[in-house]
Structure 1
Amino acid sequence: MNARSPFFWGSATASYQCEGAWNEAGKAESLWDRYLHEAHLENGDVASDHYHRYREDIELMAKGNQNAYRFSLSWPRIILNREGDVNEAGVEFYSRVVDACLEFGIEPYVTLYHWDLPQYWQDEGGWLNPAVADAYVRFARVCFDRLGDRVRYWATFNEPKWFVASGYLIGNYPPGLNDPQLAIRAAFNVMYASACCVQVFRDGRFQGEIGIVHSFSPVDGIDETLETRIAMRYADNYCNNWIMDTAAKGEIPIDLLADLNKRYDLSFMSSRQLDVIADNTVDFLGLNYYSRTLVKPYTRGETSIVVNNTGASFKEKPRVVLKDWFEQVLDDPGMEVTAWGTEIYPDGLRRGLLDVYNRYHLPIYVTENGIGVVEEINAEPIDDEYRISFMRSHIEAIKAAMHEGADVRGYFAWSSFDLYSWKNGCEKRYGLIGVDFDRDLRRIPKKSFGWYRDFIARESTAEK
């Protein structure tokens, strides 16, 4: 598919969602550890036990013909405290993971932050505190210094929109706040931290590339009226532009800032910080794609946001309504949805990839794409034709976008194996490989694993 270098066909995980070993070998507590323990909710204390079984898992990826593995580093596993003391056992663990990837011919594709902030920094205000951005950069420097001789692809953050909106605006994720002013402050501190991280990477002259991973949701409108097109712009700023414009162009959308400035205090954004953001843009964009966002003009009373992330028994469809901005539409005729109410819409990926490439002219990696379902892990192989159909249709959309000129260089299925899915627990399964959470955590490849293996083999032959 790509003449310049082998296309990345891989899969992805995240530290808290798969590693387990939540308090082993000196690891500090994360905000998710504290939040879930105090709420007595299903947690990632054990998860998929990737911490102890990483070698088995990576070998399975290699047997599946995958040539890249996207995983994240746990900040509290590497840095012990606010003073910045390094936990050598944590660094050694990730060094072993990287070495195992290289041994099996798999490119390590490393995300520095996938939501598991150390609790000792949450105790100081989390992402509302500018000192956390400085601490994040110090953490990143340790990772570059210790792993940068073997890792060529880095991402600063995974999905800033989700952990900021869910933690500070909606309140369904830790720290459980519901305040637009605080959400704006946290969002700015995160994007400033990302730019500072890029600056450290550049100044250190580390090999490879550095980017950011965004929860990409291209925006469509219900019609072509002026009111709907204005709603689409508001939705695009909320869903996409405050991350991609800021990371790729070094500019926070000016119409977004102008609108927010009418209602909120933006004086905390200093010209020095804005200069750092402008001067330190990313090398690539990682896009996690699950669905588009279909919108109409705002019509309701108060702002309301409902997020479907509370388990399989949760029946209300996920929707976003932002006062004076837009309303998400979830009942369009003919809309195909998952059991969790997420629309299945492959053409949104095709059109979205073209739009992103034409806007930013940067290489793109599809860093997550998959479908979560309730599955019984009691047969071998698990028959998941629905996942095969989902992957096939979305990969065809990627190929079509590339044929039309988009520079896409990799595809990572979410997820490598079944893992803990935040407040959905382990019942929402995304893996190409099943994990028996009820018994011995044995790995059982699903039919999709074999399909993906054979697909990659055919694509690799075609490339030659």
Structure 2
Amino acid sequence: MHKDFLWGSATASYQCEGAWNEDGRVESMWDRYLHEHHLENGDVASDFYHQYEEDIKLMKAGGQNAYRFSLSWPRIISDREGTINPLGIDFYNRVIDCCIENGITPFVTIYHWDLPQYWQETGGWLDHNVCAAYDHYAKVCFDHFGDRVTYWATFNEPKWCLVNGYLIGNYPPGEHDVQHTMNAAYNMMFASALAVRTFRQGNYQGKIGIVHSYTPVDGVDDTIQTQIAVRNADNYSNNWVLDTAALGEFPINLVTRLSQDYDIGLMKPEELKIIKDNTVDFLGLNYYARSLVKPYTHGETQLQFNNTGKPGSTKIVLKDWFEQVMDPKSEFTEWDTEIYPRGLYDGLKKAYAKYDLPIYVTENGVGGA
């Protein structure tokens, strides 16, 4: 393997660590949500908190030289006042040191969805104060781990967690509100820019980027109506994250369209300048499938995803924007995920041509059970 080629695995703190109430870790919004709804939870998960040394040694034995993992905000910061939990810091110091001892480059995500419950109680990502709190949390991470970490990602998949949390309603906080989705999206992208600014002002080593749930968009034909639908779908799926993080601005045609029906007053000029001046060093792209779309025809907005393993139950329609269709020539998993490896090739070329930044394939595969 070439020494500059990073090949490894990825995890998220809540999905792998367990130890949900050990060593000073406080409750996350996922803990509260899954416990209240009596759903499968991450109380133990794969017990990475206690088994990390074995797991990392197995990565090395398997020929991996990189590990993308996220830090748990509730494990590091104990309250809204920003109190640091030293046991949380100690844990991640041990994980990072173990990676380095095994020749594995740590690729660290600051936020992978597990907002502390103490912030969710004030409104979560609808509370603009969370932006400054996130910036403080990011600086704590830079200060304690930045001497050994050279790859940082501010957020993992803003679109996926926010659309599911505030629009579709199957993630916490379980809402169905377009205005709230917009406000949360603005706050998260502003928070990302704040962390980039803090990283640069602190002269920490390495690079800082963002990781996006990348869905390259294709149209069913080359008509102008379809190309408009493609642009609408690209704005919904990709551009509000990638354009904002990499180019420093929200897509103006998206903002213009949303402003016709919703309030965009949260977007302050002084904050938009911070976003403009603090773009990322690289993009991490998570690819599982493309989106094939046609012009909108009729009906209300539907964002129905197959969570049952029964093929054909996915329905994605954004009223007056676009409709997603399933290519009759393609093969799909039982979860309605198109098996389309060419989408990764086409998508990488498209993203590189547009943003001219280093790109890491941070997740990819076949979306099965």
Q: Distance in 1 between matches of 2:308 and 2:32?
A: 20
8 Å contact 2:337–2:367 — kept in the other structure? no
1:267 offset after TM fit, Å? 1.0
8 Å contact 2:337–2:366 — kept in the other structure? no
Q: Distance in 2 between matches of 1:161 and 1:201?
A: 23
Q: Distance in 2 between matches of 1:334 and 1:19?
A: 40
1:226 offset after TM fit, Å? 1.0
- Counterpart of 1:329 (choices 303, 325, 329) is 325
* SS of match in other structure, 2:111: coil
- Counterpart of 1:18 (choices 16, 25, 34) is 16
- Quote the residue 2:289 is aligned against: 291
Residue type matched to 2:281 in 1?
D
Residue type matched to 1:57 in 2?
D
Q: Are 2:347 and 1:352 aligned? A: yes
- Quote the residue 1:129 is aligned against: 127
- Deviation track 1:275-305 (CA, whole Å, cap 9, x = no partner) reads 0000000000000000000101111221111
- Counterpart of 2:217 (choices 219, 226, 231) is 219
Q: Distance in 2 between matches of 1:334 and 1:311?
A: 23
Identity %: 64
- Quote the residue 2:314 is aligned against: 318
- Quote the residue 2:255 is aligned against: 257
Give the TM-score normalised by the residue count of structure 1.
0.78
8 Å contact 2:311–2:333 — kept in the other structure? no
- Deviation track 1:155-176 (CA, whole Å, cap 9, x = no partner) reads 0000000111001111111001
- Quote the residue 1:36 is aligned against: 34
Q: Distance in 1 between matches of 2:210 and 2:329?
A: 34
Higher normalized contact order (CA 8 Å, seq sep 6+, divided by chain length): 1
Q: Distance in 1 between matches of 2:260 and 2:212?
A: 27
Q: Distance in 2 between matches of 1:50 and 1:338?
A: 29
1:311 offset after TM fit, Å? 4.9
Instruction: Name stretches of at least 5 consecutive residues in structure 2 with no aligned partner.
Output: none
- Deviation track 1:14-59 (CA, whole Å, cap 9, x = no partner) reads 0001111111111000000000000000111111001100010000
* SS of match in other structure, 1:333: coil
Q: Are 2:108 and 1:110 aligned? A: yes
Q: Distance in 1 between matches of 2:44 and 2:166?
A: 27
Change (3 A) 1:231 1:40: same
Q: Distance in 2 between matches of 1:80 and 1:158?
A: 22
1:339 offset after TM fit, Å? 2.1
Q: Distance in 2 between matches of 1:91 and 1:338?
A: 40
Aligned residue pairs, count: 369
Residue type matched to 2:203 in 1?
R
- Deviation track 1:382-439 (CA, whole Å, cap 9, x = no partner) reads xxxxxxxxxxxxxxxxxxxxxxxxxxxxxxxxxxxxxxxxxxxxxx3xxxxxxxxxxx
1:338 offset after TM fit, Å? 1.5
- Quote the residue 1:93 is aligned against: 91
Residue type matched to 2:334 in 1?
A
Q: Distance in 2 between matches of 1:371 and 1:93?
A: 32
Change (3 A) 1:372 1:232: closer
8 Å contact 2:70–2:108 — kept in the other structure? yes
1:337 offset after TM fit, Å? 1.1
Q: Are 2:153 and 1:155 aligned? A: yes
- Quote the residue 1:238 is aligned against: 236
- Quote the residue 2:72 is aligned against: 74
Cα RMSD, aligned residues only: 1.2
Instruction: Name stretches of at least 5 consecutive residues in structure 1 with no aligned partner.
Output: 374-427, 429-464
1:277-426 aligned at under 5 Å gives the runs 277-308=275-306, 310-312=307-309, 316-330=312-326, 332-373=327-368
Q: Are 2:267 and 1:272 aligned? A: no
1:371 offset after TM fit, Å? 3.1
8 Å contact 1:318–1:342 — kept in the other structure? no
> Which segment drifts farther, 228-237 or 314-323?
314-323
- Deviation track 1:105-131 (CA, whole Å, cap 9, x = no partner) reads 000000000000000000000000000
- Deviation track 1:303-350 (CA, whole Å, cap 9, x = no partner) reads 111123x454x55533321110001112x2121111211111010110
8 Å contact 1:18–1:44 — kept in the other structure? yes
8 Å contact 1:307–1:319 — kept in the other structure? yes
Q: Distance in 2 between matches of 1:125 and 1:216?
A: 27
* SS of match in other structure, 2:161: helix
Q: Distance in 2 between matches of 1:311 and 1:49?
A: 26
1:149 offset after TM fit, Å? 0.3
8 Å contact 1:167–1:177 — kept in the other structure? yes
Q: Distance in 1 between matches of 2:78 and 2:242?
A: 32
Q: Distance in 1 between matches of 2:260 and 2:242?
A: 23
Q: Distance in 1 between matches of 2:98 and 2:308?
A: 34
1:372 offset after TM fit, Å? 4.8
Change (3 A) 1:56 1:219: same
Change (3 A) 1:101 1:204: same
